[in-house]
Amino acid sequence: MKYFDLNNGIKMPMAGIGTYLLSPEDAENAVYEALKCGYTLIDTANAYMNERAVGRGIKKSGVKREDIFLVTKIWPTEYENGDRAIDETLARLGTDYVDLLFLHQPVGNYTEGYKAMERAYKAGKVKALGLSNFPKDRFDNVLANCEIVPQVVQVETHPYYPQTELKETLKKYGMGLMAWYPLGHGDKSLIKQDVFTRLAEKYSKTNAQIILRWHTQVGNIVIPGSKNPEHIKSNLDILDFELSDDELKEIAALDKGKRYYNMAIEDEEKAFMNWNIDFNGQP
């Protein structure tokens, strides 16, 4: 496994499994399959409504908790009661700490939410702190008011939108970039680009594996999701080859500044703060 050295000295695996859009049953099985075939990084969130299932998958796998890098996210409606929300998410996962905790969205009282995460960090309930989907102004606001600088930022990142400018900023603070939509939301026009097809043939890999390997070589942490055991295994089988500098430059030329998620922050505020979810009611 390749690791990213976070700015607090923790090593984070650079390839893992995501559980977004997985039902509780599928999430439990996917986590179990992933851990059995060598994954150590697991990503979930309050809003995925599968934290309990992720905890069951971990327990069923028999893998020691200390050998797993467990990631989750608290939802904006929980920010003002962050201490309680963090304790509840730990209870749902069946653990007394998580390795990385994100603020999931940059809306609501995110400043208070971040303070709660800092308190959990100091108490040992959280080993690293992160911001998910934060635009530059709100990212800068957290940095200006925080006591503990975040370790990881999670944003949409793929060859059509490689986040080059953001990564220069993160480098200054020693923060890692965790990529969601790492395969461009499954866009075939991206995945079937000639460069990926050619490199897949050269290295005896799939196009998706080439893209995931590109991510890890340029320093991104990736968490592709799947409930298919063969795909889960395939998504981790990306570390036995290396793309050349010229091949990386070819892929860099695909940058179109194209995002697949484009909701305005004002619309996010209206949508996300109106979610009335009983996170403890998840199966």
pLDDT digits (tens, 9 = 90+) for 39-50: 999 999 999 999
Does this model's pTM top 0.95?
Answer: yes
Q: Which fold has domain 11-255?
A: TIM Barrel (3.20.20)
What is the Rg, in whole angstroms, of the alpha carbon atoms belonging to the chain? 18
CA neighbours within 13 Å on the CB side: how many for 221? 28
- Domain ranges for the chain, please list them: 11-255
pLDDT digits (tens, 9 = 90+) for 159-189: 999 999 999 999 999 999 999 999 998 899 9
At 222 the pLDDT is 97
> In the predicted model, what is the mean pLDDT of residues 129-139?
95
| Of the candidates 53, 34, 32, 36, the residue with the CA atom closest to the CA atom of residue 44 | 53
The answer to whether 48 is a known catalytic residue is yes
pLDDT digits (tens, 9 = 90+) for 218-274: 999 999 999 999 999 999 999 999 999 999 999 999 999 999 998 889 999 999 999
Task: Determine whether 270 is exposed, middle or buried from the number of CB atoms within 10 Å of its CB (0-12, 13-18, 19+).
Answer: exposed
| CA–CA separation, 26 and 31 (whole Å) | 8
Identity of residue 17: I
Q: What are the φ/ψ torsions at residue 114 (nearest 5 degrees)?
A: -70, -35
| CA–CA separation, 221 and 2 (whole Å) | 10
pLDDT digits (tens, 9 = 90+) for 24-34: 999 999 999 99
Which band of pLDDT confidence, cut at 50, 70 and 90, is reported for residue 276? confident
pLDDT digits (tens, 9 = 90+) for 94-130: 999 999 999 999 999 999 999 999 999 999 999 999 9
At 272 the pLDDT is 94
Active-site choice (48, 114, 121, 181) = 48
